[in-house]
Chains A and B, each alone.
Chain A
């Protein structure tokens, strides 16, 4: 559907999201404006856009005061479910063919409440990518997690002072620790499969169960074989954590991070070239029974007021045309949430490969910590940091998470 088919509507729609940076052409806000421009031109609707870094607080305050934007970015499926259950978010089912949308969009099942679609998966990222410098690591794509470790040992034997992993957990107020939750989520889905993963996110799988403990233990091994020490892992920003890949001698062989990390590589190491200086492979399978299982994240958009302008915008944003604009901007690292966006629009081979991995994933699950209720997610983030600091405390950390789990869900 081209924006022209929406017809001239006029009026305005207010949008609130995290993308900031004003008119700076490399900024996320600028990219979003590019997405909106054909819509504004075709429909005559003015989009009043406001950016906020603390979207959670803005929405919570908006709900309390009744002063909400028409359309807003949502922090994650967990918050979305809370807002949908409270009746604040409007269902989107009438706006488009929901079945076709779900078939076209991996992970959209996580955005349903009582069978209704409550948010759009506007822009995605695939998690569990393992980044490396192809000049340093030449072992090829490992076939399994064990194979990865074997190949890493072989590569490390020829290097001195290099560790297997680079890990950095710091991110800024309120979200410290999320790279570690990504690690654990990627282990849970590959070790124990999507059913355990879903139960875990839904709060019916105990943290102290062997499945979840196993994932923490495996993450602990990676932490031990990591550049720096526990304190530096905790206080290194995720955007800089991969930098030792590019030092001489390299600080580490591998860096586990989502597809968007390329923009951070470029920022800190402007001379690096995608494909030559860094490349990735998808974190290999662990249990062959769950082959092809991946996790991902993304930006969600929901609708608080069902005005004709807001509905038109929600219809437009999932069209292949709108979906193709942002990912085609060089170095944006963005991947469309839609499978039907042609891979040829991606500006470089790395993003193309990541987009293919996302579209071809046999089992796709949304980032688990983003999908848990806020109190659970926050405790999970803290637990990752506490575990990194002192791995011997694992049992008491998991027991504490069970306590939080018993109160964080429902009521």
Chain B
């Protein structure tokens, strides 16, 4: 039988069957222990497979990566102390990647949150809201690689005097402003790449924020209007504070997205012209340069950078739980 057919059968039939068998087995085992202990044991036994999978596919690789970051590139993986980190913080190329990842983090988050907030609030007040929202949401359905290719065409540059194939340079030339080389001119090129990222993600932020906006009770807004508050005051003093937990969720998502960003830069510049970012540098180190130790060091630095964001997030969730 074809290997792929066997795999398909295993995935579709055997995996659910094993899980079901496990649950039945757990109930059988629980039947043997005293009734009062059952309630405290059952949740642990039920989530045990998930914990094992998480441990195997998440905790173990994270620890293994951290260990790998202290080893050299050979198969013997000799320990070389902090040499990989020393390389990271002394090589001009990786420092540019670190700087750019920081710009991505700040700018992508800002553009997406502000753009999503403005569009959510404004579209809330128009009749064709669903059409406008759908249009803005559409880019999220495009893969990042696809978006990179599309925007590479949009940003296409031909020398002044030649026919401009790129939409943006075509427009600029029609307006009498000369063409600009968006992709190769540093440092602005990083910002143009971030704009592509924002083009994709703004729709996501808008949909989440818009849903939260609908959740704000109209009575509160009505009461404020009766008290003579202007629309701007309404937004600043009522809408914004009520939306702040949602904004925080969107911002956290975007910070993590910015640190993980890879595809757009890989497709559009491959990290050239000072546009390199951490995730792409990790890829280059591992696959192009055969430096798994250095790649692991970049990965570990990425994890360390994300930890504070996660801590803030978890604290906030706990605070919300406490309110409830």
Surface stretch bound by A, among B5-13, B53-61, B285-293: B285-293
A60 and B290 contact, Cβ closer than 8 Å, known pairs A173-B270, A382-B272: yes
- Is A95 part of the binding interface, using a Cβ–Cβ cutoff of 8 Å? no
Bound Cα distance from A172 to B268, whole angstroms: 8
- Is A345 part of the binding interface, using a Cβ–Cβ cutoff of 8 Å? no
Chain A: which residue is nearest B92 at the CB level? A400
CB proximity to B under 8 Å, residues A344-371: none
- Is A228 part of the binding interface, using a Cβ–Cβ cutoff of 8 Å? yes
Once the chains bind, are B159 and A82 in contact (CB under 8 Å)?
no
Once the chains bind, are A232 and B270 in contact (CB under 8 Å)?
no
- Is B266 part of the binding interface, using a Cβ–Cβ cutoff of 8 Å? yes
CB proximity to B under 8 Å, residues A97-152: none
CB proximity to B under 8 Å, residues A33-69: 54, 56-57, 60-61, 64
Once the chains bind, are B184 and A82 in contact (CB under 8 Å)?
no
Once the chains bind, are A385 and B273 in contact (CB under 8 Å)?
yes
Once the chains bind, are A378 and B284 in contact (CB under 8 Å)?
yes
Q: Mark A78-106, 1 if CB is under 8 A from B, else 0.
A: 00001000100000000000000000000
Q: Mark A239-271, 1 if CB is under 8 A from B, else 0.
A: 000000000000000000000000000000000
CB of B316 to closest CB in A, whole Å:
38
Once the chains bind, are B266 and A173 in contact (CB under 8 Å)?
yes
Taking a contact as CB atoms closer than 8 A, the residue among B74, B158, B292 that contacts A228 in the complex is B158
Once the chains bind, are B288 and A56 in contact (CB under 8 Å)?
yes
- Is A411 part of the binding interface, using a Cβ–Cβ cutoff of 8 Å? yes
Residues of A within 8 A of B124 (CB): none
Number of chain B interface residues as a range: 20 to 34
Bound Cα distance from A173 to B288, whole angstroms: 12
CB of A154 to closest CB in B, whole Å:
26
A378 and B288 contact, Cβ closer than 8 Å, known pairs A228-B158, A411-B72: yes
- Is B75 part of the binding interface, using a Cβ–Cβ cutoff of 8 Å? yes
Bound Cα distance from A61 to B292, whole angstroms: 11
Residues of A within 8 A of B162 (CB): 228, 232
Chain A: which residue is nearest B145 at the CB level? A173
Q: Mark A156-181, 1 if CB is under 8 A from B, else 0.
A: 00000000000000001110110000
Once the chains bind, are A64 and B287 in contact (CB under 8 Å)?
no
CB of B303 to closest CB in A, whole Å:
20
Residues of B within 8 A of A385 (CB): 184, 272-273
A60 and B284 contact, Cβ closer than 8 Å, known pairs A228-B158, A232-B157, A235-B157: no
Bound Cα distance from A373 to B73, whole angstroms: 14
Bound Cα distance from A130 to B183, whole angstroms: 29
- Is B246 part of the binding interface, using a Cβ–Cβ cutoff of 8 Å? no
CB of A376 to closest CB in B, whole Å:
9
Bound Cα distance from A228 to B267, whole angstroms: 23
- Is B94 part of the binding interface, using a Cβ–Cβ cutoff of 8 Å? no
Once the chains bind, are B75 and A86 in contact (CB under 8 Å)?
yes
Once the chains bind, are A235 and B181 in contact (CB under 8 Å)?
yes
- Is A272 part of the binding interface, using a Cβ–Cβ cutoff of 8 Å? no
Taking a contact as CB atoms closer than 8 A, the residue among A56, A176, A228 that contacts B272 in the complex is A176
- Is A213 part of the binding interface, using a Cβ–Cβ cutoff of 8 Å? no
CB of A171 to closest CB in B, whole Å:
9
- Is A153 part of the binding interface, using a Cβ–Cβ cutoff of 8 Å? no
Bound Cα distance from A176 to B162, whole angstroms: 23
A232 and B288 contact, Cβ closer than 8 Å, known pairs A86-B75, A389-B184: no
- Is A374 part of the binding interface, using a Cβ–Cβ cutoff of 8 Å? yes
Q: Mark B13-56, 1 if CB is under 8 A from A, else 0.
A: 00000000000000000000000000000000000000000000
A374 and B288 contact, Cβ closer than 8 Å, known pairs A382-B272, A385-B272: yes
* Chain A to chain B contacts (Cβ below 8 Å), 7 pairs: A60-B287, A172-B270, A174-B270, A231-B159, A231-B181, A374-B288, A385-B184
Q: Residues of B at under 8 Å CB distance from A?
A: 72-75, 92, 156-159, 162, 181, 183-185, 266-267, 270, 272-273, 284, 286-292
Closest 9 CB pairs of A and B: A231-B181, A57-B287, A375-B289, A229-B159, A228-B159, A173-B270, A232-B159, A374-B289, A60-B287
9 other contacts beyond A60-B286, A228-B158, with CB at 8 A cut-off?
A56-B287, A86-B75, A173-B267, A231-B184, A235-B181, A235-B183, A235-B184, A378-B289, A411-B72
